[in-house]
Amino acid sequence: MTKRPALTAVVDALPATVPFVGPEAQQRASGRAFRARMGANESSFGPSPRVTRRMQEVAGDMWMYCDPDNYDLKQAAAAHHGVSPHNIVVGEGIDGLLGLLARMYVDVGTPVVTSLGAYPTFNFHIASVGGRLVELPYENDRESLDALLAAVRRENAPLVYLSNPDNPMGSWWEATEILRFIEALPETTMLVLDEAYGELGPASALPPIDVERVNVIRMRTFSKAYGLAGIRCGYAVGEKQVIADFEKIRNHYGVSRMAQIAGVEAITDQQWLQEVVARVDAGRRRIARIAEENGLKPLPSATNFVTIDCGSDGAFALKVLKEMLARDVFIRKPMAPGLDRCIRVSVGLDHELDIFAQELPAALVAARKG
């Protein structure tokens, strides 16, 4: 047998997997392009025209490395939130920042609390450093604040993950409940508050940012409402020393020059953001109507997708998903028990919503026959 360099014990024990199978891989497997791309929670409305123009203007400058300090983007994000640039860290989307948090707070065997069925990339990073996931079931299609808090106390966990608004269910907690949860947390437990969809939900769901609190880190992204999923750029807001701790291990050249420039332009064009928010709201309402017209139950959503209860079990919802994929309509579904009765449909352009409305009835008939 050929000898090879040994992996660490943690990595050697991991399965060869990724959190998501991308639509590109699915298209390669089928040999066909999707007619409607409504599964990845991207914003098909795209970025602000100002962002696009600026990216075109600077395309010839990409021979230069990025600014490793992310100076301009940190200034812009800080101004937007009314905090100091010392309270902002920039990373390769929220996913990249979650990986850093795992390295900062988790050792082999460290208990980390999250919800069963919540954003899987967080789990992916925790597993990569050998952490022990403690997963609590959703209650009434929301992450259970009380169950998460009880598990944090029971396990003496240094890290707890909560998304608000939530993926994959689209649900949310009001800011008063989030603040209650924060106040009840042990001082030694860091709350990862993932607000990737924060711009798309009600303002009442977002607590005021308190950069004096040392055990809360707030995550934001340019991938959703800002329409820049392809550039992989996000940021976190937190207490000054917490942000300084990111500097010890972050990839200082990880966020490209183009991403930094696009992020600055995007966050300063709040008029475009509000236009997108309005279009997303209209799209959510149309998806809900389509679901209801087909005898399905749309769940309330504060995100750019609608989760739809198919009225049966996970096996049936999986059949619906596969039937839609067979019709070249890319959607996804939750897989955790209790949530898996649903499919999840991202807001798309009008012609994509037309295709979804056209194909869903036949997919349901085929799923029921199957």
Class in CATH terms, 49-268 = alpha beta
pLDDT of 252 > 90? The answer is: yes
Confidence of residue 16 (pLDDT cuts 50, 70, 90): confident
Over residues 56-85, mean pLDDT:
98
Kindly give, in sequence order, each residue whose CB lies less than 8 Å from that of residue 129, ignoring residues fewer than 6 positions away.
10, 102, 103, 106, 107, 108
pLDDT band at 239 (very low <50, low <70, confident <90, very high): very high
Place of tokens 């990724």: 18
Residue entry with tokens 């902002």: 88
d(CA 195, CA 209): 12
Residues of the chain with CATH 3.40.640.10: 49-268
pLDDT on residue 273: 98
Under the banding of pLDDT at 50, 70 and 90, the label for residue 19 is confident
* Three-state secondary structure call for residue 291: helix
Q: What is the pLDDT of residue 18?
A: 78
Q: What is the pTM of this model?
A: 0.95
Residues 267-313 pLDDT 10s: 999 999 999 999 999 999 999 999 999 999 999 999 999 999 999 99
Token representation of residue 298: 């749309």
Sheet strands side by side (includes 216-221)? 88-91, 234-237, 216-221, 190-194, 159-163, 111-115, 132-136
User: What is the mean predicted confidence (pLDDT) over 321-337?
Assistant: 97
From CA 158, how far away is CA 261, in angstroms rounded? Answer: 35
212 burial via Cβ count (<10 Å: 0-12, 13-18, 19+): exposed
1: pLDDT strictly greater than 80: no
Q: Which residue spans of the chain are classified as CATH 3.90.1150.10?
A: 19-45+271-369
Q: What is the mean pLDDT of residues 238-257?
A: 97
Answer whether 206's CB lies under 8 Å from 179's CB.
Answer: no
Q: Specify which residues 159 forms β-bridges with.
A: 112, 190
* CATH code that applies to domain 19-45+271-369: 3.90.1150.10
Identify how many contiguous H helices and E strands the chain contains and give both numbers.
13, 12
pLDDT for residue 192 is more than 90: yes
Confidence of residue 130 (pLDDT cuts 50, 70, 90): very high
pLDDT at 2: 86
Structure tokens at 30: 């089928």
